[in-house]
Amino acid sequence: MNFKINKTKLYNALMIVSRSVSSNYPVPALSGIKLEASSEGLKLTGSDADISIEMNLSNDIDEELGLSILEEGSIVIDVKYLLDIVKKMDSEEIQVEIIDGTLTRFSGNKVEFKINGYRANDYPTIDFSTPENHLNINAGLLNAIIDETSFASSSKETRPVLTGVNFQSNNNQLIITATDSYRLAKKVSELNSGEFNITVPTKSLNEVKSIFNELDKDLDVYLNTKKIQFKSNNILLQSRLLDGAYPETERLIPKVFNHTLVINRQDLINAIDRTSFIKTDNMSIIRLQINSKDDITITNKSQEIGEFREEMNAISYEGEPLDISFSGHYVIEACRALKSENIMIQFTENMKPFILTKEKNPEDLIQLVLPVRTYN
């Protein structure tokens, strides 16, 4: 293998592919990026067995790439060394050449690095075949969906399926749900696609959001019961899906409410944030007492730390007086996801789940939070 390429273009491509590589993976070859030079261009592949990224570089795709294939071949280079070497080259163009077995030389101007890689044959075979089910979605819309839901997924592996976000499509509606059993986020979007019900790891979705960040572009999404692919231009990100049936969360969302509060979103976020340093068992428990729209009190106290109290006004309030406690962190994250000037919070009773929605179009996005029992 022997090729020349623009240093900056190669480094930027390696940074994208490296997002799928774990430097501590038990299979040594998977701690590296596979470079394949052929007459069609340069292919970069990275994987940690859960997420795999394939990126194709050619002068047809990028005129500034300056790619020149002098000899076809392939090699796997450990990601932590590869990125460091390319970053520290002192020339605009670098040459990468296998000189003896797996010994690979990186050269440019007066700088030369030599590093031992892995044989390409030692790299596990990754099935990048395209699944049959296909849908097209705007990257900006997909990134917004991820922002509005993924934070509610679980970070604990005790129930693996809850560490992902569920995507269910039927009747031209895409329903996206995430929950960790203590809170829930549900988004509904109109989308012309076939029927499917899959759960994508939250980690994979966060990588999708980071890599496909040109919000005005469309993504091609391919999926089946085992994997999902996101593709745009010369980048393909593939992720495994989570096994197991996602819980039926619809029954958890209350349908009848006895109390409805409409309040400025940022005012509520600021009030809760001011008291977040007061924690009990490493959790900031907020007590919300509502008598009327002009008589709202937020309190938080801890025997070890101290006490907080703030009086607030709302846009409107309907219902009898209410006294309820909840995790301040959960409510702040739910409020931030709603991105509306005013939000509507609907309660059933003080120990039942409550929901937060936008004041307008409340069916579009629902955030649900379970209250916390306190003995104040």
- Please provide the DSSP assignment of 189-212 as one string: EE-----EEEEEEHHHHHHHHHH-
Q: What interhelical angle do 202-211 and 139-149 show, nearest 10?
A: 140
Question: 375 lies in a domain?
Answer: no
Question: Can you give the pLDDT at residue 229?
Answer: 98
pLDDT interval class at 161 (50, 70, 90): very high
Mean pLDDT confidence for 337-362: 94
- What CATH number corresponds to the domain at position 338? 3.70.10.10
pLDDT at 75 over 80: yes
Question: What is the pLDDT at residue 376?
Answer: 55
Structural domain contains residue 374: no
Q: Which of 93, 122, 151 is the last residue of a domain?
A: 122
Side chain identity, residue 193:
S
Would you tell me how many other CB atoms lie within 10 Å of the CB of residue 250? 10
Task: Examine the domain organization and report whether 75 and 32 are in the same domain.
Answer: yes
At 306 the pLDDT is: 85
Domain boundary among 95, 122, 149: 122
Whether residue 230 is predicted with pLDDT greater than 80 in this model: the reply is yes
Range of the domain at 25: 2-122
Q: Which of 96, 122, 148 is the last residue of a domain?
A: 122
Whole-angstrom distance, CA of residue 148 vs CA of residue 186: 8
pLDDT value at 133 more than 80: yes
In a domain, 182, yes or no: yes
**What per-residue confidence (pLDDT) applies to 374?**
78
What SS3 state is found at 77?
Answer: strand
Q: Which tokens go with 23?
A: 């430097």
The confidence score (pLDDT) of residue 375 equals 62
Number of domains forming the structure of the chain: 3
My answer on whether 236 and 338 are in the same domain is no
Give the Cα separation of 151 and 132 in Å (integer). Answer: 29
Residue (of 230, 240, 165, 241) closest to 16 by Cα position:
230
Six token digits for residue 237:
């990100």
Give the torsion sign (CA, 7, 10, 16, 17). negative
**308 DSSP β-pair partners:** 300
Whether pTM exceeds 0.75: yes
- Residue 183 pLDDT: 97
CA 42-60-127 angle, 5° bins: 45
pLDDT bin (cut points 50, 70, 90) of residue 280 is confident
Mean pLDDT of 317-341: 96
The answer to whether residue 376 is domain-embedded is no
Statement to judge: residues 264 and 340 lie in one domain: yes
Domain co-membership, 156 together with 213: yes
| CA distance linking residue 365 with residue 357, whole number of Å | 6
Task: Let me know whether 138 and 162 are in one domain.
Answer: yes
Q: Do 14 and 118 have their domain in common?
A: yes
Determine the average pLDDT of the residues in 289-316. Answer: 92
pLDDT tens string 2-47: 999 999 999 999 999 999 998 777 788 889 999 999 999 999 999 9
Does an H or E element contain 144, and which? helix 139-149
